[in-house]
Structure 1
Amino acid sequence: MTVPYQDTSELRQAVIDACLSLNNLGINQGTSGNISVRVEDQMLITPSGIAYDCLSPDMLVSMPLDGRATTLGQLKPSTEWRFHQSILLSKPHMHAVVHAHPVYCTALAMNHQEIPACHYMVAAFGGNSVPLADYAIFGSEALSNNLDKALADRHGCLMANHGAVVTGETLEKAMWRMVELETLAKGYVTSLSIGHPQLLSDPEIEEVLRAFSNYGAQNK
């Protein structure tokens, strides 16, 4: 099992660098995304409404994972802190959560479409589809509950009329999944525009899931 992170300036800077990478890659825009990492019984999360290129390590917000939103003396945490907290609590082997508004993922989410087994990389998210979480207003407990349901046996999902969220055993792995998810969504949207995607069967996806146990990026 991956060991939880320690709260260091290096880790905090790595979170900021990951945020900047999301924007540089075109995965996210402005300050709409957010990232959290587990640090023992706490989580570090990006603050609300501050441009990523203005962040410094001391600006990241430390919060307990036991449900109390205690941030006295710190900046206001991301409005999405509830679902970050809930996901990390419900997935003890995952130590990072990345949320963003990638264009192709968001386009599918606007149409209330999940991503079926159109490509073997669907298995990178834990099953034969990337599910769609039901809509609820951002920052709400209802949204957190919807995401918990969608992510019960998955490492990522789309969010109806919103965006996407992924988990990772490490921050690097969560970032890898977010890039892979947008790439997958782009391929799926493109395939829909030129015809009818031929889906892989459940046994074929199960074969990929077994193969992924030794897949390079999966073992970061």
Structure 2
Amino acid sequence: MTTTHDPADASTHRAALVAHALSLSPSGLSQGTSGNLSVRWREAGCEGMLITPSGVDYRRLQPGDIVFVQLHDGAWQGPLKPSSEWRFHRDIYLARPEVGAVVHAHPTHTTALAVQRRGIPAFHYMVAVAGGRDIRCAPYATYGTETLSRHALAALADRRACLLANHGMIAVGADLGSAFALAIEVEQLAHQYLLALGTGGPVLLPDDEMDRVLDAFRSYGANAQSAAAQEPA
């Protein structure tokens, strides 16, 4: 993932983070001050990320409130503290060079599964949108901790989304738009899966079928990888 440090681009990214933060509630992904977003960024020669601040009502969020955090040591710059979940954002960027943006949210249906410590199995072929045969649920750990970050990285191995037990979900993408779109897609899948569980239980697709779908998504073009693999028409 190539990062940049053009000041004009920084303003664009800050404005995009504010716009997407304002969309968390209308999209159903999070309410109040919950949820956080980041993009990979280089500033003053330092590899880092721009991330939403901690505890700020997104209706009052301004581009200047967005916090720059260095990847190598977690040092931050800005008038406000970074999100309390800055650690797993930082660690995802360190571990996954292809990731350009991270969205963390507490959507209703995804969280309903996460509090049961359930992932999302292959009940529908679109589960492959997250990059694998299923969407895993990471074990529980206290928010903001290194332990939670380790669990999230393991659940995200070869995946672009995961659930966090008793917490919420994470989606990653090449850019902020694709990560946000994937988060919405995962929440829709969680809603469908819960409905299926409550009406007799879904029939799961076998591994070989999910592998065929994954191959089809990979050959579907750039949209399948960077635009949250929108369902082929």
Aligned-partner residue type, residue 52 of structure 1: Y
Asked if the contact 1:173–1:217 (Cα under 8 Å) also holds between the matched residues in 2, the reply is no
User: Please, which moves more after superposition, 100-109 or 70-79?
Assistant: 70-79
* Cα deviation code 1:158-198 (max 9, x no counterpart): 00000000110111110110000000000000000101201
Q: Does 1:122 align with 2:127?
A: yes
* 1:75-114 equivalent positions in 2, closer than 5 A: 75-114=80-119
Report the Cα distance in structure 2 between the residues aligned to 1:183 and 1:173, rounded to whole angstroms.
Answer: 15
Q: Extract unaligned runs of 5+ from structure 1.
A: none
Match of 1:218 among 214, 220, 225: 225
Q: Does 1:26 align with 2:28?
A: yes
Count of aligned residue pairs for this structure pair? 218
Asked if the contact 1:5–1:37 (Cα under 8 Å) also holds between the matched residues in 2, the reply is no
Structure 1 segments of 4+ aligned residues over 3 angstroms from their partners: 2-7, 215-220
* 1:1-220 equivalent positions in 2, closer than 5 A: 3-4=2-3, 6=5, 7-40=9-42, 41-66=47-72, 68-213=73-218, 214=220, 216=223, 218-220=225-227
Identity percentage of aligned residues: 47
Report the Cα distance in structure 1 between the residues aligned to 2:151 and 2:113, rounded to whole angstroms.
Answer: 17
Asked if the contact 1:110–1:161 (Cα under 8 Å) also holds between the matched residues in 2, the reply is yes
What's the C-alpha RMSD, in Å, of the aligned pairs?
1.4
Asked if the contact 2:127–2:135 (Cα under 8 Å) also holds between the matched residues in 1, the reply is yes
TM value normalised by structure 2: 0.90
Report the Cα distance in structure 1 between the residues aligned to 2:170 and 2:123, rounded to whole angstroms.
Answer: 20
Report the Cα distance in structure 2 between the residues aligned to 1:73 and 1:129, rounded to whole angstroms.
Answer: 38
Q: Extract unaligned runs of 5+ from structure 2.
A: 228-233
TM value normalised by structure 1: 0.95
Aligned-partner residue type, residue 62 of structure 2: S
Cα distance 1:17–1:73, how it changes in 2: closer, same or farther (>3 A)?
closer
User: Please, which moves more after superposition, 11-20 or 68-77?
Assistant: 68-77
Report the Cα distance in structure 2 between the residues aligned to 1:5 and 1:108, rounded to whole angstroms.
Answer: 38
Asked if the contact 1:116–1:129 (Cα under 8 Å) also holds between the matched residues in 2, the reply is yes
